[in-house]
Structure formats: C-alpha cells, structure tokens
Structure 1
Amino acid sequence: MMDLGNMVRGVASDALAQSLLQFWEYDEGTLELWRASSNFVYAFECNQVHYFLRLSFDQDNSIEQIKAELAFMQYLQSNGFPTVTPIQSNNKKLIETLKTPDGTYIAVVFSAANGINLDEDTITEKQMEAWGKSLASLHCLSKKYEPVSDRRKSWLDTIQFMESVFKKHPGEELALQELSELTTWLQSLSTAKDVFGLIHYDFQLDNLFFEEDKDPYFSVIDFDDAMYHWYALDLVTALDDFIVDDNPQSKLLVHSFLKGYRIVMDLENDVVAQFPQFQRYANLYKYARLLKSLDYGEINDTPPWFNDLKVKLVHVADKLRNTVNRTK
C-alpha cells in the first residue's frame, strides 16, 4: 500500500499516466484507472487489444528492483510458466521514467492476462489443487534461477524496513519485540535451495487468472512484491483467507491446495508446522506497511472516498496490532 497522500494526488488526475503512456502506442481515449494500491495500474487499448500501464514512485520502488522483477518474469515465461509479458516502448525500452517536482515516476506496460479471477467463496477443491500446483511450479523454477545482474530484495531488507517504521512510531515496543523474535527464528532456518528462493509474495486469487480449458490453468500477474524468502511464506500468504477461517470446508480446501503443491514440490510436514510462525511474520510486515501508508502528512483537499479508505486501513491496522499483542 502506497502513502495515502501519494494515492490522493495520483487518483485526482491521470495527467502523469497520460504523459508516460506517450512512450507506447495506444488508442486515444481508452486510458482508465484500474487499481491503486502499492502502485497505480491503468488499463488501456492499442489496436483494440488490452494492456496495462503500471506507475511506481521512485521512493517506493527503484528502477533496479523493477529490472530484477521483469527479468524474473521473462525467465518464468521462457520456461513455460504463464505470466503476462512486459511490452517495449517506442524507444525499445521496458521501463520509462518521468521526472516531476515530487520525484521520479517509473512506468512499465504489460500485456493483459486471459481468464477470470476465481472467488474464494466458490472455488472448488480441484481448482485449489491446480492453484497449489501453479505455486509449486513457480518455486521449482525459482530454485534454478540465477539473476544476471540486478537482484530482488531479501527478507533482511524487509526486517530493516519494519524496524525503521516501528521506531518512527512511539508505542510500538511490542511490534519491535515481535520483530526481534521473528528475526532470531528466521536466522535459525536453512536457506538451502529446496526451501528458500525468489517468491511471489502475493500469490492470491486477485493476481491469478483461471482458464478451465488450459493447462496450466492459471496465468499470474503482479510480481512487484517478489523477494528472496522461504517458500513456506508464499504458501501462507496465498492461503491467508483460508487459514484464518477455522472451519471444515476451509481446512479441506487448504488440504487440496497442499496436495496440488506436493505434486510438483516436496513439502515436509515440519515445514507445514512452521506456517503459524510465517503467518506472524506476514502479519507484522503487513502491519508495518499499513503504518507507513497512514503516515501521509498533511493533505489539503481529500476526495469523498478518502475517509472511508482511511477508516478501513486503521481498522485493519488495529486488528493486526492486536494480533501482535496476543503473541506476547
């Protein structure tokens, strides 16, 4: 989630997007905002074919990290893993930038994914199995991946990020204590290639597009949170909505997901036993990112949707803070 001040300024006008879109071919009048979260994503058309323009602020994402993201996506695609394609600009570049008084904005264009997003309330056991198999296929390729130049951030970078956020906010002693305990635990884990590598970190249903008549069934988008971490964390964050639902149906769906994962990748029972610890890490990281997002300074004119979003984010942050408190 980006700084709410940046979100307000970005949603207020598509002028930046229009300026950066000039680097690519496009059909006039087709640009529209599709998603605003950790970055801005706009849908547009070129010769009536759908594409997506993603804008990042250089304070949130560096060009080196984006280069590393795109290189990993291209590696996956070249090895048969279905993901969207980065599109070259008119300058034969995958990345274009625009300097403004507020900083530099970074643009990338992707092809559109085919298929539909599945719903967690209606997903079937068979689809869960295919989902797990898809994630395992990504991890299997990640085990063999060696970046040529730029590397994605690692779990150590996220630890430093969380520490800097919590130290800026008085009263977050419990969060810092939780961070210290989790850091010690993570340092004790093996980083062998069978359990540790470049993960997606947001392998949830809104980033997967399902086609029933295709194999593999899923095409994957949104690799901008990818990092070097333990594969188990990818499973925990993917299954977040199902793990927190402690009912027989959710447990059955989780079982189907893990069954599909094990078709491709080994998954030992002792790793599954570590899921609650990885969930603690995921909750703490999400909490730190929300705190940073809510630390937006002064905004003069707020749009009608701002207060509702702020209340929602504060509510989620409070729930996560309570989760941290309960682990003490």
Structure 2
Amino acid sequence: MMKLSNMVKGLSGDAIAQELIQHWEHDESSLLFWRASSNFVYAFEHKQIRYFLRFSSDQEHSIGQITAELEYMEYLLSHNYPCVAPIRSVHGRYVETLAHDGGTYFAVVFQAAAGAALDEDITEMQCEDWGRSLATLHQLAMSYQPIQVARWSWQDILQNIDTVLQAHPDEKEAVEELRILTAQLHSLPISSNNFGLIHYDFQLDNLFYQENRRLFTVIDFDDAFYSWYVQDLVTALHDFLDDNMNLDHSQVKSFLQGYRLVRPLSDEDMRALPYLQRFMKLYQFSKLLWSLEGSDVADAPEWLEDLKIKLVRARDRLRQGF
C-alpha cells in the first residue's frame, strides 16, 4: 500500500499515466485506470491485445528492486513457468523513468494474463492445482541466482517495520510483537530446501486459471522477497485460515495436497506457520500506518475519505491482535 498522499498526486488527472504510456506502443484513447494499491495500474490495448501499465514512485519502489523482480520473472518464463511477460518499451527497455512535479516514477508494462479469475468458491480440484502451482514456483526458486540485484529479505522487512514503528511510539503492543517475532524468526532453521525467493501474494486475485489445461498464470511479483517457502502458504491461504491456523478447511486440505504432489512439507515447516502468520499481520499493520501518514490532503478528491476509513478500520482490527 502506497502513501495516500502519493496516491492523490499520482492519480491527478491521469497525467503521469498519459506521459508514461508514450514509451510503449498503444492504441490512442485506450488507456483506462484499473486500480491503485502499492502501484498504479492502468489497462490499455495495442492491436486488440490487452496490456497493463504499472508504475510507482521512488518512495514506494526502487529501480533496483523492480529490476530484480523482472529478472526473476524472465528466469521463470525461461523455465516455462506460466507468469505474465514484461514488455519492452519502444526504446528497448523494460523500465521507463519519469520525473514529474518533483517526484520520480518507474513504469513497466505486462501483457494481460490468460485465463479466468477465481474467487472463494474455488473447487477442491482447482485448489489442488493452486497448491501445485505454488510448489512448482518454489521448486524453481531453489535454483535461482540473481544476476544484478537481489530482492530484499525478511530481515530487511523487519528493519522496515521497526523504522515505521519508531515514528509511532504509541504503538507499544506492535513494538513488543516485533521484538517477539524477531527472536522467533531468527531461531527458525534456514536451508536450501525451506528458504528462498517467495511470491508473498499468491492469492487468487493474482492468479488466472485455464480450466482446460488446469493451469494458473501468475501476476504481481512486486512483493517478492527472501523468506521461508511456507510463508507463501500463509499469505496464499489467508482468506481460508483463522487465527488458530486451522487447516481442516476442505479447500486448504486440497491446496496442501496439491503442493505435496511437487514438494514435501515437513513437521518443522508446519510448526513455523503461526509465527509467519503473525509476521504477515505485523507487516500489513506497518504498511497501513505508513500509508496513512500525512493523509490529510488539501483539496482531496471525494474517494480519499472513504479509502481512509477503510484503511483505518483494517489497521485497528490488526492492532487488536497484538
């Protein structure tokens, strides 16, 4: 989630998107706002094919981390893993940069994913395919070596959480949760089998299913970082799991069954799940705190207040869990 003040600036009149899209071939008047979260996303067309323009400010993402993300996706594509492909600009670059109104923005374009979006009514067979897709991703991650820049790690995220909490000294429960989790995560074993580059947002809204092939195409690798592979299970299954990490849900069982068809899950892996669930919640809490900083924007658009209310409620729900 980006800072709301940056969101207002980035969406103002679609001016930034209109400048950035000039770096890629596109059909005139086809640019359409899609969503804004940790990035701005616009859909557009070129020769009746749909693409997505994604951009963010240098306050949210560094060009090094974006480059590392795209390198990983190229590696996956070279090994026939079904993820969306980045598209080079007319200048032959994957990343284009724009200086606008005192800010710097980095943009990339991806071709639209093949397949259909699924929701929580996903069948058990589809859940098995979902788990198998994630395990295949982890299997490939085991052999991946970055070329230029590595994605950040769980230690970097803990440091980032600490920095955010230092700006919010009243969040004493969150500070204590950070202390407990830092000690607990440092005690977890790390090996080439259980640790590597994870997607971190392998939820259904980032997957598109081709039923005739029983195949998921994956998007949005911009949250990827180095952690335990089972962290991906926690975030993927978030909508199906309660705070007690009850794994008896039928969809959860089918997902785990599909995952185990490709990769084993040890008892040690499963014991780590509750701590990684707590890490996920603390990380999300810190992102919400950061997003809401400076959100009292002069002449703000009408949608901003509704979004602020939604984020404040989410922040407060997470706070109650510490």
TM above 0.5, yes or no, is yes
1:228 counterpart residue number: 226
1:2 counterpart residue number: 2
1:119 counterpart residue number: 119
Q: How many residues align?
A: 322
2:133 counterpart residue number: 134
Q: CA, structure 1 residues 24+247, in 2 after alignment: closer, same or farther (shift >3 Å)?
A: closer
TM-aligned CA deviation for residue 247 of structure 1:
11
- Once superposed, what is the RMSD of the aligned Cα atoms? 1.5
Query: Following the alignment from structure 2 to structure 1, what is the Cα–Cα distance between the partners of residues 58 and 309?
Result: 27
Say whether 1:322 aligns with 2:294. Answer: no
**Paired residue type of 2:318:** L
Query: Following the alignment from structure 1 to structure 2, what is the Cα–Cα distance between the partners of residues 175 and 124?
Result: 37
Query: Following the alignment from structure 2 to structure 1, what is the Cα–Cα distance between the partners of residues 156 and 244?
Result: 32
**Cα deviations by residue, 1:225-267 (Å, 9 ceiling, x for unpaired):** 0000111111000000101288999611111111100001111
* 8 Å CA contact 1:290, 1:317 repeated in 2: yes
1:212 counterpart residue number: 211
Say whether 1:265 aligns with 2:275. Answer: no
Say whether 1:244 aligns with 2:245. Answer: no
1:196 counterpart residue number: 195
Query: Following the alignment from structure 1 to structure 2, what is the Cα–Cα distance between the partners of residues 207 and 102?
Result: 32
1:36 counterpart residue number: 36
TM-aligned CA deviation for residue 102 of structure 1:
2.9
Query: Following the alignment from structure 1 to structure 2, what is the Cα–Cα distance between the partners of residues 322 and 169?
Result: 16
Identity of aligned residues (%): 52
1:19 counterpart residue number: 19
**Cα deviations by residue, 1:148-183 (Å, 9 ceiling, x for unpaired):** 111101111101110011110121121111111111
TM-score, scaled relative to structure 1? 0.95
Equivalent position SS for 1:106 = strand
Query: Following the alignment from structure 2 to structure 1, what is the Cα–Cα distance between the partners of residues 273 and 135?
Result: 16
Q: CA, structure 1 residues 248+236, in 2 after alignment: closer, same or farther (shift >3 Å)?
A: closer
1:279 counterpart residue number: 277
Q: Which runs of 5+ in 2 are unaligned?
A: none
Query: Following the alignment from structure 2 to structure 1, what is the Cα–Cα distance between the partners of residues 281 and 245?
Result: 21
**Paired residue type of 2:101:** P
Query: Following the alignment from structure 1 to structure 2, what is the Cα–Cα distance between the partners of residues 76 and 176?
Result: 37
2:101 counterpart residue number: 101
Query: Following the alignment from structure 2 to structure 1, what is the Cα–Cα distance between the partners of residues 78 and 18?
Result: 31
Query: Following the alignment from structure 1 to structure 2, what is the Cα–Cα distance between the partners of residues 270 and 198?
Result: 19
